[in-house]
Amino acid sequence: MTRTSDMEFNFEKPLPIRQALHLLQESSLTFTRSDQVSFVIDHDKMFDWTNGSAAHLDTIIDEADRADPASTTFGITSYFGSSAHGGDLLFHPGRREISFMVTVDKRTLPGSRFCDFGWYLGRLVPPLEQLGLVELTATDIR
User: Which amino acid, one-letter code, is at 44?
Assistant: D
CA of residue 41 relative to chain centroid, distance: 13
Total structural domains in the chain? 1
Q: What is the CATH number of the domain that holds 9?
A: 3.30.310
- pLDDT class of 34 with cuts at 50, 70, 90: very high
Q: How many whole angstroms separate alpha carbon 19 and alpha carbon 69?
A: 14
Rounded to the nearest integer, the mean pLDDT of the chain is: 96
Q: What is the pLDDT of residue 2?
A: 81
Exposure class string for 38-59: b at 16+ Cβ within 10 A, else e: bbbbbeeeeeeeeeeeeeebee
- Percent of the chain at pLDDT > 70 equals 99
pTM: 0.95
Q: Measuring CA to CA, which residue among 94, 19, 23, 8 is closest to residue 61?
A: 19
| Tens-digit pLDDT profile for residues 101-134 | 999 999 999 999 999 999 999 999 999 999 999 9
Question: Are the CB atoms for 105 and 86 separated by under 8 Å?
Answer: yes
Q: What is the pLDDT of residue 48?
A: 93
Range(s) of the domain holding residue 43: 4-141
Q: What is the pLDDT of residue 82?
A: 86
Mean local confidence (pLDDT), 21-29:
94
Q: What is the pLDDT of residue 117?
A: 98
Q: What is the pLDDT of residue 1?
A: 59
- Percent of the chain at pLDDT > 90 equals 92
